[in-house]
Amino acid sequence: MENEAGDLVIRVTAMPTDLNPYGGVFGGWLMSQLALGAASLVTRRTGHKAVVVGATDFTFPGAMVVGDELNVYARVERTGRTSMTVVTRGLGRARASEDEVEVARGTFTFVTLDEHDRPRPIEEAAVPARAKA
């Protein structure tokens, strides 16, 4: 599924193990869900192992509670020689509602690796036209 925020890459329900000491949803869990979603998009686009080399611009404009559903969207913003930068957004949906609110945002840069775990050039076919550097 794709919208202006990109592809829907993860849909997951916040469980009691995903909470912070105050009882809300843990920001670290949100960050890791964004990262997993970005990683999934990069590997699907390139067909290769990809590791995260940079993560920036995290914001948490809204809160989630246990039982809410997190929907992570990811969009390729830039493609370099061996790296790909992905913008992610996390939208929370209360369990008994259709309304979504933005709860997290972050940008990740991944490097694709070859069989020796060295940076591997990204093939032209993997690059969406609007994301060329």
Ligand X SMILES: CCCCCCCCCCCCCCCC(=O)SCCNC(=O)CCNC(=O)[C@H](O)C(C)(C)COP(=O)(O)OP(=O)(O)OC[C@H]1O[C@@H](n2cnc3c(N)ncnc32)[C@H](O)[C@@H]1OP(=O)(O)O
Q: Closest residue (Cβ) to ligand X?
A: 80
DSSP string, 8-57: EEEEEE--GGGB-TTSSB-HHHHHHHHHHHHHHHHHHHH-S-EEEEEEEE
35 vs 91, beta carbon nearer ligand X: 35
At its nearest, how many Å lie between ligand X and the CB of residue 57?
12
Give whichever of 33 and 71 is closer to ligand X, judged by the CB atom. 33
Least distance from C-beta 9 to ligand X, angstroms? 12
Report the nearest approach of ligand X to the CB of residue 66 (Å): 18
Q: Would you say 71 or 79 has its CB closer to ligand X?
A: 79
Of residues 46 and 71, the one with the C-beta less far from ligand X: 46
Q: Which residue ranges make up the site for ligand X (CB under 6 A)?
A: 28, 31-32, 35-36, 39, 51-54, 80-83, 109, 111, 119
